[in-house]
Structure 1
Amino acid sequence: MQDPGVVGQRLLRLAGLRGLAALPRRTRTTDSRHGYPIAPNRLGRNFTAQAPNQVWLADLTYIPTGEGWFYLAAILDMHTRKIVGWSMRQTLHTEIALDAFNMAVQRQRPVPGLIHHSDRGIQYAAEAYRSALARQGITPSMSRKGDCWDNAPMESFFHTLKTERVHHRVYVTRDQARRDLFQYIEGFYNPRRLHSALGYISPAEAERRAA
């Protein structure tokens, strides 16, 4: 008698399907166990901005796929709630955060004085990231240790992303996740999703009105 597992794998191949690998229930995106400088919390949970490109919030999250975890770094403008920069990678090295930051700078062209708030993770505390902020005249700010409420609007975006999209999908590959997340951010969230905090207009509309 053949092993049921072998038979199941053969049937999946014949149907052009792949089984999903089991993943741990959670993965950690913030590693604050490093020797890099920690910026003070300059926001103090005052999540307001009078215009675009005054306050940016940054964070990372993880997405499960059949090929393993997939990571998303994003930067949110506090005034418009727009995701002004994002990056997706297979690893959590500093480059994922830098890619999102560079996208935000190229898109928004901020003037010096903007506050960039993040957690204490090594991606944001690393010398390469701190240097990138300094070159743009951007002031770093960091949450208190282990306090997710110090970056609540960014956490809210990731919660929205997962409840509205990710939890309704099964991503067999990382590339499939990449395409779907791109479509959500650029095809729906930024241009069309209505926010109660914005008076029920989209981030793109909030940016247009501010201009």
Structure 2
Amino acid sequence: MAEIQRRHSSEFKMNAVLLSYERKNVINTARELKIAPKLLSKWRTIYRKYKQGSFPERGKKRIYYEDSKIFESEKKLAELQLRLVILREAIKLKPQGKQALYFFIHQNKNKYPIGIMCQVLGVSTSMYNLKMQHPISKREMQVSLFKEAITSVFYEFKQYNGCVLIARELCKRGVQISEDQVTFFMKQMALKRRVKKKYKVTTDSNHKLFISPNILNRQFTTHKPSKVWVSDITYLQIERRFLYLTVIIDLFDRKIVGWNLSSTLSTNTTILPAWNMAISNRKVQEGLIFHSDRGKQYANKLFTTTLNQHKCVQSMSGKGNSIDNAVSESFFNSLKRELIYSQKTLLTPKEMRDEIFDYIENWYNKNRRHSALNYKTIDEFNTEI
């Protein structure tokens, strides 16, 4: 009768090799373990080459020990990266509750492992399976989709938009939702736009320079571009000091046609660079009304001469009356609420310049919806003319 061949476990092989090295005798160790000396010698040869990776479990490939460590490290890294991807995609759904998370897992069950998604999102796998046995109703699914869309737009626009602007943006994207619904869901998810704060007036009107009458007289709408430009200057606090932002806005479409950020309040560093940018962006029409407050930068001879050369008509607000320049004041209000006051620490000059550029050029002039334009972006407003 043929002898039945014994099958040795990975642990047995490893212990046998280590014992043979400890005893320093292959033959005696083999006899003690009741295996052939040739077999033990073979295991020792394998161990010298592969070390801890010498005897893998059945069905697994033998690899060098160093390679196995690299493999395990890469495996852990890949899993961590997968968890991070899942978290990034689902983090905005957290405020919507577990129903939204279950819906996310169900939508992505063929994309990511369900177990890992449940772990990352902090939900029970058994509860998820139970929920899937009782399908989500159409109403629950619609609410979840609404909440997901609202949250997406809210964070896409850096928490600048309130319920009205979010509702208009979603309708523009084909999501039929009312302002009341957006308000209700935002309250449920505790989504609040950034808080409005007061800021100091920096206008220095205590001078004996020429003061122009208030020709604009609070007429803040016009039917053609380059008919009325309004301008103002505000301070922005940075590390240890201030920067000064000058803007020029065309009342036709509320676009900021010129702006400049400076470290001093002279005419040469505030309004003149902003003016030069404005006239390079839009052609100046003869008779253009240029409205501002009574600050020195606007009232001095250098700037009034510049306006006269372009055949512009200068207009100035009443003393201490910010409502006369409400459009500029409104812009600074939005800027500070949506950008400046959201910063947790004071910015460096370079960081502030980068933030202001991004806010004006990429957000305000391109993507922001303006109530004065019937909640259209500036590009949409100009396209429909």
Cα distance in 1 for partners of 2:298, 2:380 equals 30
Whole-Å Cα distance in 1 between the matches of residues 279 and 315 of structure 2?
17
8 Å Cα contact 1:52-1:207 kept in structure 2:
no
Cα distance in 2 between the residues matched to 1:37 and 1:131: 12
Map 1:55-204; keep pairs closer than 5 Å: 55-95=228-268, 96-169=270-343, 170-204=345-379
Structure 1 or 2: more strand by fraction: 1
Paired residue secondary structure (2:257): strand
What is the CA-CA distance between 1:67 and the residue it aligns to? 3.2
* TM-score normalised over the length of structure 2: 0.47
1:38/1:120 contact within 8 Å kept:
yes
Which one has the largest radius of gyration? Answer: 2
The structure 2 residue matched to 1:37, chosen from 207, 210, 235, is: 210
Q: Which residue of 1 aligns with 2:175?
A: none
The CA distance in 1 between the partners of 2:206 and 2:315, in whole Å, is 18
Q: Which runs of 5+ in 2 are unaligned?
A: 1-197
Alignment length (residue pairs): 186
Q: Which amino acid aligns with 1:114?
A: L
Q: 2:352 & 2:240 partners in 1: Cα distance? A: 10
Q: TM-score, normalised by structure 1?
A: 0.84
Q: CA deviation at 1:205?
A: 3.0
Q: CA deviation at 1:29?
A: 2.3
Q: Which moved more, 1:36-45 or 1:195-204?
A: 195-204
Is the partner of 1:192 in helix, strand or coil?
coil
The question of whether the paired residues in 2 share the 8 Å contact of 1:117 and 1:143 is answered with: yes
Aligned-residue CA RMSD (Å): 1.5
1:82 and 1:204 in contact (8 A); partners too: no
- Of all paired residues, the percent bearing the same amino acid is 42
Q: Which runs of 4+ in 1 moved over 6 A?
A: none
Q: Structure 1 residues 130 and 207, CA, compared in 2 at 3 Å: closer, same or farther? A: farther
User: Quick check: which one's helix share is greater?
Assistant: 2
Structure 1: gaps (5+ residues): 1-24
Q: Which has the higher contact order (CA 8 A, sep 6+)?
A: 1
Amino acid in the other structure paired with 2:363: F
Aligned equivalents of 2:379, 2:234: Cα separation in 1: 23
Larger CA deviation: 31-40 vs 144-153? 31-40
Per the alignment, residue 48 of structure 1 pairs with: 221
